[in-house]
Amino acid sequence: MEKVGVHRTTADDGVELAGHVYGQGPTIVFVHGALEDGEKLWLELASHLSDRFCCHLIDMRGTEMSDEHSDLSPRRQVHDLAAYVESIGAPVGVIGESGGAIWTLGATARSEAIAAAALYEPVAFEAATQELAQAFEGEVSLMNELAEEGRWVEAAEVFFRGVYSDEEWATVSKEYVKLSGRYVQRQLQEFEQLEESEYSPTDSDELAEINAPLLLLNGTRGPLSEWFEQSVHHIARHVDDTRTRRFDGLGHSGPMVHPELIADELRPFFERTLPRAEAS
């Protein structure tokens, strides 16, 4: 896979945002979720698309190449993503995974630079049952306890065991979890600010502002599969132009474990929705 370089831009509060860039063609921006960064989550999937698209693997603020900052609020991260895609200077596609899908939805509602968006197992807190919400809160509480003792890797393990099936967890390397541990403190700050925020990109009124076509993808094998499925239904109810695809047997690690299956869905979607004349 050909690496083109690094794309950088500056958010309106001075934070520098960066992303690794691979391939040539119409642009797709890849938005990672919790305890991830651009290359750590998306590199394998991008390798299946870079022959046809220019793939930007953005690092959200506080991860890898992008600057750290205490403001990790939903509104700020939505503005960050919108600033990044608008700095590219052409209509782009965006794919967001898990929590990264939240920022993808918010940016798509606000920026005309996003021509189409795909979401893999998006999170919508409005779609969570009380039982799921309580289980998630319990995991975050345990992560906080471990973080206070400096047990970063164990805290990351708690998170991943909460979203991965046993089969998926068996494929996760110790090095992967170790690398995730460095983002635990940042992630806990993000969770706290997400809970405190009155603004939610997955609120029904916010979703109704989206005019771009959406592709909604989810698996069936994982502790939170019910939540992701309900999140897909919630989004589809409030956005006019949506397509859904359910992968039987895949879980939350689908983009890393079976990137070829996800790529087979993304390729025709973005070929149809992104203008070929606007190449990066």
- pTM, two decimal places: 0.96
pLDDT at 276 over 80: no
Please tell me the predicted confidence (pLDDT) of residue 275: 86
Contact between 151 and 144 under an 8 Å Cβ cutoff? The reply is no
pLDDT tens figures, 157-197: 999 999 999 999 999 999 999 999 999 999 999 999 999 99
**Locus of tokens 């039982």:** 131
Where does the pLDDT of residue 279 fall: very low under 50, low under 70, confident under 90, or very high at 90 and above?
A: very low
Residue 277 has pLDDT above 50, yes or no: no
| pLDDT of the residue at 278 | 42
pLDDT tens by residue, 65-91: 999 999 999 999 999 999 999 999 999
Residue 261, H or E segment: helix 259-273
The pLDDT tens digits for 47-65 are 999 999 999 999 999 999 9
Residue with token string 């969770």: 191
Average pLDDT over residues 202-219: 98
Q: What is the pLDDT of residues 114-129, one digit of tens each?
A: 999 999 999 999 999 9
pLDDT of residue 43: 97
pLDDT at 280 > cutoff 80 = no
What secondary structure, in 3-state letters, does 6-20 show? EEEEECCCCCEEEEE
230-239 pLDDT, tens per residue? Answer: 999 999 999 9
Architecture of domain 3-128+199-273: 3-Layer(aba) Sandwich (3.40)
- Strands (DSSP E) found in the chain: 3-10, 16-22, 27-31, 54-59, 92-97, 114-120, 214-219, 242-247
One-letter identity of residue 180: S
Rg (CA), the chain: 17
For Cα atoms 267, 127, 214, give the angle at the middle one, nearest 5 degrees. 20
- Name the DSSP class of 240: S
Residue recorded with tokens 């050909």? 2
Mean of the pLDDT values across residues 206-213? 98
Average pLDDT, the chain: 96
